[in-house]
Amino acid sequence: MVNFRELSDNWAYDLDKDPIRNGEIKDGDVLNQSIEMILATAFGERLFNPSFGAGLQYKIFNVFTTSEANAILDEVAQNIKMWEDRITVVESQMNFIINPDQNYVILIIPYIINRTGVKSVFKKKIIND
């Protein structure tokens, strides 16, 4: 079972500090949580939105070649693009750090917040329990 460790108990609010205004998010913590939700959700898991997610848990711990790893990163980038339009993923800098001895993968996804132009990085250690 894939376990997205290091989940925070301090979830960021998905509204601007002044909810009477437009409520558009410019905060990296909220965007990182959104990316994590996309990656952690299996296709079909959301009953009324079965295409939401990335299906990453079915691929991430299979033995794969460099070309297969690149295909997984491309697919992850496409799913993030589909569901998170507040950012632009820097696909050329996406990467895996693989540690087969300790059974984990670190996924690195650099992105730019569209509204502000601020660069940020989603970095998550994914453990196979």
Give residue 63's pLDDT: 66
Residue where the block lists tokens 């990656």? 39
Contacts 24+ apart (CB under 8 A), 119-123: 119/90, 120/28, 120/31, 120/32, 122/31, 122/32, 122/35, 122/36
pLDDT in tens, the chain (129 residues): 555 544 444 445 444 445 444 555 557 888 999 999 999 898 888 889 899 988 887 777 776 678 888 888 999 999 999 999 999 999 999 998 888 788 888 999 999 999 889 999 999 998 877
End-to-end CA distance of the chain: 5
CATH architecture of 2-128: Roll (3.10)
Task: Please give the pLDDT value at position 112.
Answer: 95
| 122 neighbors 6 (Cβ within 8 angstroms) | no
pLDDT, residue 78, reads 94
Q: What is the pLDDT of residue 57?
A: 77
- Whole-prediction pTM value? 0.76
